[in-house]
Structure 1
Amino acid sequence: MHDDRPQQQRHSSIVRVVVIRLALALVLGLAVTAGLIRAGFLDIPSRFNPFAPLQIADEVNWLTRWKLARLERDRRQCLAVLDGSPVSHRAVPDRAPEEGCGLSNAVEVSRSSVGLNGGFTATCPLTVAWALFEQHVLRPAAQEHLSQEVVRVAHLGTYACRNINHRAGGRRSEHATANAIDIAGFVLASGQQVTVRGDWTGGDQNREAFLRALRDGACRFFDVVLSPDYNEAHHDHFHFDMGSYRACR
């Protein structure tokens, strides 16, 4: 009986060599392209340029979250992004951690592209994520589902030195470092209010669709997004944070 194994092995070896060479050529091509982009020899829109700073107004794509994540390690660039956004803010001094609570790379926000029921202090990356959310989720969703603008957001605060869900034990909440914000409702241009507590279920279908569009869209920018679907503790608000976990519930 003729043994075809040597021929099959030679064929497999040739295939492996071809695949390796193609992979090396691809890596080399990407490296050369990246070098040309970084050096400025290739002019591409900032939203497609991995080396260009994040801009709030840019159309969202797969690079957006990567650029947003970079801001957690770059205070200067994070503040520069906010400087080019509609968010009125000022940097606040760091507060050394004490018992798991403190501030680092935080800003005080007085206004954004919509009104707020009060100012808040939050980490710079969280504030940038909020600006992206307003621009690319909140305002479009209001027009699509409610045919009007949101003029004010009602939040429940950002900084609170406490554990998750106010428990006596367990780990600290992202609120303990002003890295989270809770949102209770919205005031429309007509003066009507849409609240998480009153409109998440059993009410107007357009309002329900609006709130679900916000929950789903927020997951594009925030690391953790929790809604009434998560648990009873969130029956009356959305929780958005930029922590070390990922959840969209």
Structure 2
Amino acid sequence: MTRAIRWLTRILVVAIAIGAVFLAIVWLRGRPQDLPWTRVDLDEPIGLFTGRKLAALTDDFAQCRALLDHAGVAYRPADPVSRTDVPQCGFSDGIVLTDGAALAPAGLTLSCPVAAALIKWEWDIVQPAARRHFGSRVATITHFGSYSCRRLYGRESGGWSEHATADAVDISGFRLADGTTISVLKDWPGGGAKAAFLREVRDGACKLYATVLSPDYNAQHADHFHMDQASRGASGWRACR
């Protein structure tokens, strides 16, 4: 009798597990952005795998441009950059966004996956946060650039920065339509709406980029958010600090 009860218990546990998996699959079918094998779509809400899918576009410029075209994002392709003297530097998937909030300085060239994530970040994270905290929209996003042929932390040796292939961007602040300015350097340490806004948009960026580094990481990032789409293969590990 005891053995029969044990078997019935095991069967019940297995049945419940199978049912839970079935219900999860049914739920996820209504949210393709939460499935790892579906294509990313900028018109869909941010999902569990949106960031990884965007980072994977580093090796597929045509698909990345198709993604932007499908979402109606305005941009222009940038001339490729190659360095025969430093083959680790350069890019062939650069674009200049002509849509969304203005980027200052203007004319910023980004790798396509970084630009796609930036647009999605503005749409789904930055602008809603600005409306909640300030009742205004972001008119300008200020930055310290993207492409820079250099190694990590500007060292003379060691690994190469994602900036070396335009796969990173450094965001320094925001200007709202009502003239309010928000600075990572000045406003991150404080309290109030500006600090809360900065933390919210930092956390949101972590859903879209492979790496996000803020003043919480180290002193070298005290004045900006570093956001990159480093390709880390099957592991897909992400950094958010």
TM-score normalized with structure 1 length: 0.77
Question: Is the partner of 2:119 in helix, strand or coil?
Answer: helix
For residues 8-27 of structure 1, what are the alpha-carbon distances to aligned partners after superposition, in whole Å with 9 as ceiling and x for unaligned? Answer: 88987888889889989999
Question: Is the partner of 1:190 in helix, strand or coil?
Answer: coil
How many angstroms apart in 1 are the aligned matches of 2:2 and 2:77?
A: 68
For residues 106-126 of structure 1, what are the alpha-carbon distances to aligned partners after superposition, in whole Å with 9 as ceiling and x for unaligned? Answer: 222142311111122222111
2:199 aligned partner: 212
RMSD: 3.3
Match of 2:57 among 71, 88, 100: 71
Question: Is the partner of 1:122 in helix, strand or coil?
Answer: strand
Match of 1:56 among 30, 34, 42: 42
Give the C-alpha shift of residue 89 in structure 1: 2.6
1:171–1:111: structure 2 CA closer, same or farther, 3 Å change rule? same
Larger Rg: 1
Give the C-alpha shift of residue 67 in structure 1: 3.5
2:113 aligned with 1:121: no
Decide whether the 8 Å contact of 2:109 with 2:147 is kept in 1.
yes
Flag as ranges the 4+ runs of structure 1 deviating above 4 A: 7-31, 44-52
1:154 aligned partner: 142
In structure 2, stretches of 5+ residues that fail to align are: none
Question: 1:123-138 counterparts in 2 under 5 A?
Answer: 123-138=111-126
How many angstroms apart in 2 are the aligned matches of 1:18 and 1:159?
A: 57
Give the C-alpha shift of residue 166 in structure 1: 1.4
How many angstroms apart in 1 are the aligned matches of 2:165 and 2:58?
A: 13
Query: Partner amino acid for 2:177?
Result: A
1:179 aligned partner: 167
Decide whether the 8 Å contact of 1:57 with 1:135 is kept in 2.
no
Decide whether the 8 Å contact of 2:97 with 2:115 is kept in 1.
no
Structure with greater contact order relative to length (CA < 8 Å, sep ≥ 6)? 2
How many angstroms apart in 2 are the aligned matches of 1:94 and 1:30?
A: 45
Query: Partner amino acid for 2:212?
Result: V
How many angstroms apart in 2 are the aligned matches of 1:131 and 1:231?
A: 26
Decide whether the 8 Å contact of 1:53 with 1:77 is kept in 2.
no
Give the C-alpha shift of residue 85 in structure 1: 3.8
Query: Partner amino acid for 1:227?
Result: S
For residues 114-140 of structure 1, what are the alpha-carbon distances to aligned partners after superposition, in whole Å with 9 as ceiling and x for unaligned? Answer: 111112222211111111111111111
How many angstroms apart in 1 are the aligned matches of 2:83 and 2:21?
A: 43
2:82 aligned with 1:82: no
Query: Partner amino acid for 2:117?
Result: A
In structure 1, stretches of 5+ residues that fail to align are: 1-6, 38-43
Overall identity of the aligned pairs, in %: 37
1:25–1:91: structure 2 CA closer, same or farther, 3 Å change rule? farther
How many angstroms apart in 2 are the aligned matches of 1:91 and 1:18?
A: 59
